[in-house]
Structure 1
Amino acid sequence: MKILAFIALIIPSLVWSQIGGLSGYQSLNLTTNPRAAALGGTTISLADGDLSQFFENPATLDSVGVKNIFFHFNPYFADVFVYSGAYTFNVGKAGTFATGINYVNYGSFDLTDEAGNQLGTFQSQDYTIAIGKAHQLGPITLGANVKLAHSSIESYGSTAVLMDVGGVFRINKNWTVAMVFENIGVRISEFSDFSSPNIPFDVKLGTSFKPEYMPLRFTMTTNNLVDENSTDIEDEAGRASQGIDKVWKRVNLGAEVLLSDNFQLLIGYNHKRKQELRLDDIGGGAGLSFGAMVRVKRIELRFSRATFHAAGGSSFISLRTDLNDFKKIL
C-alpha cells in the first residue's frame, strides 16, 4: 500500500510536467502487437492471458502464466521495421514478472556535408526495454511497467526512464474496465543542448464486453485524454472537427468474432486516423483495421492489417506460445 500511495502522490506532478509542446520518442506511440492493431490501434482492457497486452497495460499480466513468450514483426512504412518481444518469468516469492523490448529500425540514410557531398551513411533506431509486474486485489488488478527508452540518430542520442501504471477492474467474467497512465517519466540525456523533446504522456480509459450468449467481444478505448490542444492543430491544418467529432477522435472501437478457441476474426475503427489521413474526396478505408488469430498445437499466430491511407496500410504478424507446453507441441 505504501508503493500505491507513493504512485498516487507522484503521478500529478509528472503529468503536468509532460503536457504541452512537441513530443519526442514517437516510437512509444506505435502499436506493438497485431491484436491491438486490429482493434483500432490500441486496447488496454483485454486481460485474458495474452502476453502481448502487457505492452498496452501492465495490469493484464495477472492473467499470464510463467514462461509465456511473444514475438512481433511489423514492416511499417518507407523501409521502417518494428520488432517486439516479451517473456514472463518467476522470481521466487516476488511472483511473476514480464520483460519485453520494442525496437524500431528506421534504416540507413545518406550522410552529407553542408555542400551536399556524400560522406557515407548513418543509421537511426529507437528501442524501449520494459519490465512489468501486476498484483491482484480482489476484482481489481494494479500493474506497473518500468521502461528505458532510447532514441538515436547517427552519433546523437536521447534516453528516458519511464513508467506505465495501469489497472483492470473485472465487473464480471465478461466485462472489464481499465485505465492506464502511460509514459510517466523524465529524460536523462538529450540529443543536444538545443533539443529537449517532451515525452508523449497519455491517459487511456477502456472497456471490453462480451454478451453472454454471443460469440462476440466488443472493445472501446479512449486515448489523448490529457491533450486538450490536439484538435487545435488539426483545425489549422484544414481538418476542422466540431462537437461530437472531436470526442470520437479520442475513441478506438473494435470487435472480436470468437468462432472457436483456435480461430478468431477481428475488426476495428480509428476515427482520428480516418479524419487526418483520408483524402478530401474519399476515405480510402483509412481508419479501418482487421485481423485473425489461428492457434495450432498451442502456438498462437496472429495477423492484422491497418489501413492508414488510400495508398495503403501496414501489416502486423506475431507468434505466442507457452514454453511449459513446448514438449506437447513437439
Structure 2
Amino acid sequence: MKNLVLLLFLVTSFVAKSQLGGRATYQFLNLMSSPRQAAMGGKVITNYDYDPDSAIYNPANINYKMDNQLAVNYVNYLSDINYGTASYAYMWDRRTQVFHAGVTYINYGNFDGRDENGNATGNFGGNEAALSLGYAVNVPNTNFHVGANFKLITSTLAEYSSAGIALDIGTTYNFEEWDLNAAVVVRNLGTQLTPYVDTYENLPLEIDAGISQILPNVPIRWHLTFENLQLWNIAFENESRSTTDLDGNVTEEKIGFLDNVVRHTIIGIELFPRGGFNLRLGYNFRRSEELRLINQRSFAGISAGFGIKINKMRFNYAYARYNGAAASSFFGIGIDLQ
C-alpha cells in the first residue's frame, strides 16, 4: 500500500494543479492533447477546422473538414513520464455524419518499491489509457454545433487497477463571416466502474470556455480560454511568498478577486493559421503563478511552437516552460489519408 500512496501522489501532483490536485483520480484525462494546443497555453477549445486533435478536448469541434485526417502525438513530459495521443475522424456521408475516435495513453515509468522499514520490494510502474468515441451535430438553422465524447478508461498503478467511463459534452458557435469561434465544454462526467481498492473516487470534472477569431486583414488568430470554471477559488496562499518587516511582523500572501480571474485565464495566438507554416505562442497565467520562483525569472507559463505542412503531412512541435528546472517538448504528425 505504501507503493500505491507514492504513485498516487505523483499522479495527482505532477500536473501542478495546486488546489485541484488530489480531488480526483484519472488526472491524465485533462492533459494537453496536441502540440498545437500546448503551444497556445494548454487548453484551446475553439479550433473548429481540419485538426482531429481538437475533438479530443471539445467534441463539438468534430466537422467534415476532419474527414480521413489522422494525428499522432508524443510528449516526453517530466522525468520518466511519457504520454501520447492519437485521433482520427471519418465522414460517413456528405458533411452530416462525422465520427471521431481518440486515444490518450500515459506511462509513469518505473519506481523502486520499499516497505515501511525501507527494505526493497522490487520495481513497479503505472500507466493509464482512455479510448474516446465522439460525434457532433449542427443545430438546425443555427451556427451552433453540439458534440459528445464517450470514454472508456483503464488505469494500473503498481499491483492495483481501476476502470471507469466518462462523457464530455461541448458546444461550439462557428460564425464564418467574422471568422469567430466560441465554445463551452464540460469534461469527464462519469464514474469509476472498479476502484483501485474499496473506495470509489471522483473523476477530474472540468468546465472550460473559450473564444477565438482571425483578425480582419491580418493572418493571426487570437485565443482566449477560461479554464476550471467549475471551481472559482483555484489559487492558494504560498507561505514562501510571505514577507517579514524589521519588527518581525509577517504579512501573508493575499489572493484577491482579480488574482483568481487571472489564474483561470489562458491566452494564445496563431500566426498564419490557414497557411502551410504556422507560428504559435501562449501564456498560462495559473501555471506561471504556481510555478514561478521567488526573486528569479523562470519564464514559467510561456509556451511556443510551430507547424509545417508538406504535401499531405503536417508536422507540429511545441515547447512548454514550467520553471527553471522543468520543461517539455511536444511532437506531432498529422496525415491526410484521402
> What TM-score comes out, normalization by structure 1 length?
0.86
1:65–1:88 Cα contact (<8 Å) kept:
yes
Deviation of 1:262 after TM superposition, in Å, equals 0.8
Find the residue that maps to 2:66 and give its secondary structure. Answer: coil
Find the residue that maps to 1:282 and give its secondary structure. Answer: coil
Aligned to 2:269: 255
Unaligned runs of 5+ in 1: 1-18, 325-330
Q: Structure 1 residues 246 and 229 mapped into 2: Cα distance closer, same or farther (>3 Å)?
A: closer
The alignment's C-alpha RMSD in Å is: 2.1
**1:96-135 equivalence runs, <5 A:** 96-135=98-137
Amino acid at match of 1:107: G
> What TM-score comes out, normalization by structure 2 length?
0.84
Q: Distance in 2 between matches of 1:282 and 1:134?
A: 46
2:314–2:334 Cα contact (<8 Å) kept:
yes
Q: Distance in 2 between matches of 1:23 and 1:234?
A: 21
Runs of 4+, deviation exceeding 3 Å: 90-94, 233-240
Q: Structure 1 residues 323 and 172 mapped into 2: Cα distance closer, same or farther (>3 Å)?
A: closer
Q: Distance in 2 between matches of 1:263 and 1:255?
A: 14
Unaligned runs of 5+ in 2: 1-19, 242-252
**1:64-213 equivalence runs, <5 A:** 64-91=65-92, 95-137=97-139, 138-173=142-177, 174-193=179-198, 195-213=199-217
Deviation of 1:240 after TM superposition, in Å, equals 4.0
The aligned length equals: 304
**1:232-271 equivalence runs, <5 A:** 233-234=236-237, 240-258=254-272, 261-271=275-285
Q: Structure 1 residues 87 and 257 mapped into 2: Cα distance closer, same or farther (>3 Å)?
A: same
Amino acid at match of 1:120: G
Q: Distance in 2 between matches of 1:47 and 1:85?
A: 18
2:50–2:69 Cα contact (<8 Å) kept:
no
Q: Distance in 1 between matches of 2:254 and 2:24?
A: 22
Aligned to 2:224: 220
**1:34-53 equivalence runs, <5 A:** 34-53=35-54
2:64–2:98 Cα contact (<8 Å) kept:
no
Find the residue that maps to 2:138 and give its secondary structure. Answer: strand
Q: Distance in 1 between matches of 2:322 and 2:208?
A: 21
Q: Is residue 24 from structure 1 mapped to residue 19 from structure 2 by the alignment?
A: no
1:44–1:57 Cα contact (<8 Å) kept:
yes
Q: Distance in 1 between matches of 2:22 and 2:327?
A: 29
**Which is helix-richer, 1 or 2?**
1
Q: Distance in 1 between matches of 2:75 and 2:310?
A: 22
Deviation of 1:236 after TM superposition, in Å, equals 6.6
Find the residue that maps to 1:59 and give its secondary structure. Answer: helix
Deviation of 1:57 after TM superposition, in Å, equals 0.6
Find the residue that maps to 1:149 and give its secondary structure. Answer: strand
Find the residue that maps to 1:100 and give its secondary structure. Answer: strand
Aligned to 2:316: 302
